């Protein structure tokens, strides 16, 4: 059965994952539709990041199913490279390649993975850096950039692959407060353009503003979910209430 854009772009069903004796995900189920922005929030260690890593097969799952554009991620015969061309990911620690300039970081994967024409890639990479307001830093090495700037290069690098879905794993958690905003602005613009985003974050204001749907996870399960207005205004579960009272 072929996937069509009117179906959910990501279908997560009853996903279980353990690290040794610790069960991190205990049956997580939800869908993400194309163009939707969902935020996953919850206390540390509740399995948010693991869930994100499962979606692009960085972490294998033990039970359940994850379909990305109809393709089963939990399949031993999965073409991981094909999956990862569709799913971009940005990390908390940016993880830029320190021996390459900002521009080279953005250009590397399209040239060597997608085998695209260098000149065409370069033009696109410059446009992407301009989009994240870093055109003037194209020749800078990651070590010469601030955390916020590095993170924006990382976003541009991921976008250069023209992904259908973007995963953001606590992308502002390692940043200085004054640089958080510039990264959030970049993500906001991306969401406004209709990019499907799965965002794990601790920025509640950002989640409230941007997300179409919020999922609250605790101890490996989704405790509560809903549109941000309902979710923040009248949380039902005591765990959600406690978490929000501590954060807000």
Residues that bind other proteins (CB under 8 A): 56, 58, 80-82, 84-85, 87-89, 91, 93, 95-99, 108-109, 112-113, 154, 157-158, 161
CB nearer other proteins, residue 24 or residue 87: 87
Least Å distance between CB 58 and other proteins? Answer: 6
Least Å distance between CB 218 and other proteins? Answer: 26
Least Å distance between CB 203 and other proteins? Answer: 22
CB nearer other proteins, residue 82 or residue 234: 82
CB nearer other proteins, residue 81 or residue 248: 81
Least Å distance between CB 205 and other proteins? Answer: 27
SS3 readout for the chain: CCCCCCCCCEEEEEEEEEECCEEEEEEEEEEECCCCEEEEECCCCCCHHHHHHHHCCCCCCCEEEEEECCEECCCCCCCHHHHHHHEEEECCCCCCCCCCCHHHHHHHHHHHCCCCCHHHHHHHHHHHHHHCCCHHHCCCCHHHCCHHHHHHHHHHHHHCCCCCEEEEECCCCCCCHHHHHHHHHHHHHHHHCCCEEEEECCCHHHHHHHCCEEEEEECCEEEEEECHHHHHHCCCCHHHHHHHHHHC
Least Å distance between CB 105 and other proteins? Answer: 10
Least Å distance between CB 172 and other proteins? Answer: 17
Question: What are the backbone angles phi and psi of residue 38, rounded to the nearest 5°?
Answer: -120, 145
CB nearer other proteins, residue 98 or residue 205: 98
CB nearer other proteins, residue 68 or residue 222: 68
CB nearer other proteins, residue 2 or residue 81: 81
């Amino acid at each position: 059965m072929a996937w069509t854009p009117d179906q959910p772009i990501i279908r997560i069903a009853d996903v279980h994952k353990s690290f040794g004796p610790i069960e991190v995900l205990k049956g997580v189920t939800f869908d993400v539709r194309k163009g939707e922005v969902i935020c996953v929030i919850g206390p540390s260690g509740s399995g948010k990041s693991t869930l994100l890593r499962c979606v692009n097969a960085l972490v294998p799952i033990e039970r359940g199913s994850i379909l990305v554009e109809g393709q089963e991620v939990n399949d031993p015969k999965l073409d991981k490279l094909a999956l990862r061309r569709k799913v971009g990911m940005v990390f908390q620690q940016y993880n830029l390649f320190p021996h390459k300039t900002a521009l080279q970081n953005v250009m590397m994967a399209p040239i060597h993975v997608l085998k695209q024409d260098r000149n065409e890639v370069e033009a696109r990479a410059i446009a992407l850096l301009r989009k994240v307001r870093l055109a003037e830093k194209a020749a800078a090495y990651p070590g010469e950039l601030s955390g916020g700037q590095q993170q924006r290069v990382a976003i541009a690098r991921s976008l250069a692959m023209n992904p259908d879905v973007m995963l953001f794993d606590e992308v502002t958690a390692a940043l200085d407060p004054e640089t958080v905003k510039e990264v959030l602005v970049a993500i906001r613009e991306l969401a406004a353009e209709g990019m499907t985003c799965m965002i794990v974050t601790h920025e509640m204001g950002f989640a409230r503003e941007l997300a179409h749907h919020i999922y609250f996870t605790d101890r490996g399960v989704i405790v509560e979910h809903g549109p941000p207005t309902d979710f923040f205004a009248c949380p039902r579960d005591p765990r959600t209430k406690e978490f929000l009272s501590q954060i807000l």
